[in-house]
Amino acid sequence: MKYAMLPTPWEETLQALDAAGHERVPLEQAEVLIFNGGPDDFPQPLPPSVGLVQVPFAGVDHLLEVMRDTTARWSNAAGLYDATVAESTIALLLAQLHAHKRVGTSWNNRDEVEAHTSFLFEDKTVAVVGAGGIGKRLIRMLEGFGPRIIAVNRSGNPVEGADETFATADIERVWPAADYFVALAPLTDQTHQLFNAAAFRAMPNHAVVINVGRGPLVDTDALVEALRAGHIAGAGLDVTDPEPLPDGHPLWDMPNVVITPHLANPPYSVRRRIGSHTVKVMERFAAGEEIPTEVDTEAGY
């Protein structure tokens, strides 16, 4: 098939597509567009020859308005980075539970670190809020640590490996029932600031919140206040709102907050994997078959 990649061609991606026999052409001649930019970068209007747009990330909330203005089918990268993000989630959670940030630069902080250390296997419950592909992979990884696991998804249908599953509409029942919370839900009108002041007040005061999903899943001002007031014990953040988190923001200086700069799935991982994924999607598109990663533009994911 004929394809274009905008606005930034990635050599690893181009090599995978070329090796599969696809032809890179100007956008006006393309049947498929691999798009790795933001809404301001999107070509308007999209040439009528383009029937499929592939984006290299799972989250597409920033492109929904653009998507709805086209007649093309859209595919995201859902499931492609499950293991990467799940492992990064565990790293953030363990760094927080083991008080690594409190070590600082001195061995003399040992007593403080000990006082704030806890372990997953000590009769703890982890709530995975957004138990899709990444969440399910995370649950499998967590099983070796032995916590009880609550899964939260849109439907409330049971999730393999979880001890209990709740629908997102029943999330109020989950806040007091878990010790640690992982935010992995897609960003929609229903999940925007799902982790808010009321949620933090409902959690046990030893709760830890990890956000590796989308920054606006968490109300940042409410998070700061909850940490200061002791409503919750800590947080681990790979995504923030705003992003990037400004220098001097209170979260940077809190000893009970661990932050990574949106690297749960680093760019090199995206560039390496999206090419082969796109090849498979293009094969299905050309054959008129179902595309497992096709985006429902109305649902927002």
The yes-or-no answer on residue 154 being catalytic is: no
Q: Which of 276, 301, 261, 272 is nearest to 88 (CA)?
A: 261
Residue with tokens 């925007």: 192
Set 262, 271, 272, 284: catalytic member: 262
SS3 (DSSP) at 200: helix
Question: Please, what is the angle between helix 267-286 and helix 11-19, to 10°?
Answer: 30
Pick the CATH number of 2-80+266-287 from 3.90.1150.10, 3.40.50.1820, 3.40.50.720, 3.40.50.2300: 3.40.50.720
The dotted CATH code for 82-259 is 3.40.50.720
pTM, two decimals, is 0.91
Closest CA to 240 of 225, 266, 221: 221
Q: Which of 73, 137, 214, 273 is catalytic?
A: 214
Mean residue pLDDT of the chain comes to: 96
Lowest mean pLDDT among 57-61, 158-162, 215-219, 251-255: 57-61
User: Could you tell me which of 131, 139, 138 has the C-alpha nearest to residue 82?
Assistant: 138
Q: What's the mean pLDDT in 161-190? A: 97
Q: Annotated catalytic residue: which of 12, 225, 243, 294?
A: 243
Give the ranges where the chain is alpha helix by DSSP (H). 11-19, 64-68, 82-97, 100-103, 110-115, 133-142, 197-202, 220-229, 250-253, 267-286
Bigger pLDDT: 86 vs 299: 86
Which residues, other chains included, contact 92 with Cβ-Cβ below 8 Å and sequence gap of 6+? 210, 212, 236, 237, 238, 258, 260, 264
- Whole-angstrom distance, CA of residue 29 vs CA of residue 47: 8
243 classed as catalytic = yes
Q: Where are the domains of the chain?
A: 2-80+266-287, 82-259
Instruction: Confirm whether 2-80+266-287 and 82-259 share one CATH topology.
Output: yes
| Whole-number percent of the chain with pLDDT over 70 | 100
Is 271 labeled as catalytic in the residue annotation?
A: no
Q: What is residue 301's predicted lDDT score, i.e. its pLDDT?
A: 87
Whether the pLDDT of residue 173 is over 90: the answer is: yes
* Interval 227-275: pLDDT, tens: 999 999 999 999 999 999 999 999 999 999 999 999 999 999 999 999 9
